[in-house]
Amino acid sequence: MSSRVKLNISDTPLNPANMPQHVAIIMDGNGRWAHARGQRRREGHFQGYLALKDTVYATDDLKIPYLTVYGFSSENWRRPSEEVHGLMDLMATAIHAELDELMENDIRVRVQGRLHEIPEHTRLAFAEAVERTSANARLTFTLAINYGGRAEIVDSVKQLAIQLQSGALTADAVTEELISKNLYWPDHPDPDLLIRTAGEKRLSNFLLWETAYSEIHITPTLWPDFNAQSLIIAISDYQSRVRKFGAVLEA
């Protein structure tokens, strides 16, 4: 069993009645974290893995049912091959090493993205984690790997085009709900809160469809320095927002 100290929502300033149900994170700044210490980028990625581990358990402690993180974008192939392969190896090793503890904590792992394009050993490590945790019922922890928001929409439209071609679907039946239902994980609620670390103010092709009405929290904290306290600050910020979804609020 792990010796982790459990975080209790009643020990935080958070309002338990207004918690986000789905938190999504663009984990950015590993390279800058390493550079600032005169270390290799891979050291930043390794520390980023440790920050992710803390974040997963903090999210679970706060009883948030969904966490989705951006692990590798469809554009990250543009990085030097040594870095890409280092990341693929790290992900395979990390998910394998964490599996027993994820099981103990009843956490369900999912992966979304074009997995057929990633190295086999990484794909198999994810497949094992997804399979072994599939009946777990607490936090659903989704890793976006070789994921692109545009690619996800393209994949969804392709599914619909096949049904249209076969006559199973008519153009009039294409609605927002139908597109949502053909995305990678149709049963996930849209993220209430999107966090980006390391200060960049862009989506970088993450969850383009799903973040239509997400509240966005950008922090200068570099991802390897992100921890439970950073998550609490992000959720406090979320709780200070007025969500209007296009409507006018009554006085």
**Span near ligand IPE by CB under 6 A; candidates 22-30, 57-65, 181-189, 226-234:** 22-30
| Residue 87, contacted partner among ligand IPE, Mg ion, none, CB below 5-8 A by kind | ligand IPE
Q: Which of 11, 15, 18, 28 is catalytic?
A: 28
Residue 28 in the binding site for Mg ion (CB under 5 A): yes
147/116 Cα distance (integer angstroms): 11
Shortest separation between residue 236's beta carbon and ligand IPE, angstroms: 23
Strands (DSSP E) contained in 29-132 are 66-73, 108-112
In this structure, what are the phi and psi dihedrals at residue 56, rounded to the nearest 5 degrees?
A: -60, -50
What's the rounded Cα separation, in Å, for the pair 47 and 225? Answer: 8
Identity of the residue, 223 or 238, whose beta carbon is nearer to Mg ion in the bound complex: 223
Q: Would you say the C-alpha torsion 230, 235, 236, 241 has a positive or negative sign? A: positive
Question: Which of the stretches 127-135, 164-172, 198-206, 230-238 binds ligand IPE when contact is defined by CB under 6 A?
Answer: 198-206
Question: Is the torsion defined by CA of 185, 189, 190, 194 positive or negative?
Answer: negative
211 binds ligand IPE (CB under 6 A): no
Query: Cα 195 from chain centroid?
Result: 10
Q: Catalytic: 76? A: yes
Nearest to 63 by CA among 22, 110, 92: 22
Catalytic residue among 54, 76, 225, 237: 76
Q: Out of 20, 29, 148, 191, which residue is the one contacting ligand IPE (CB under 6 A)?
A: 29
Partner interacting with residue 76 (select from Mg ion, ligand IPE, none; CB below 5-8 Å by kind): ligand IPE
Which region, judged by CB under 6 A, interacts with ligand IPE, from 25-33, 101-109, 165-173, 178-186?
A: 25-33
CA distance 166 to 157: 14
Burial of 48 (0-12, 13-18, 19+ CB in 10 A): buried
Touching ligand IPE, residues 72-91 (CB under 6 A): 72-73, 76, 87
Asked about 106 being catalytic, the answer comes back as no
By CB under 5 A, name the binding residues for Mg ion.
28
Catalytic residues: 28, 76
By CB under 6 A, name the binding residues for ligand IPE.
26-32, 70-73, 76, 87, 198, 200, 202, 204, 223
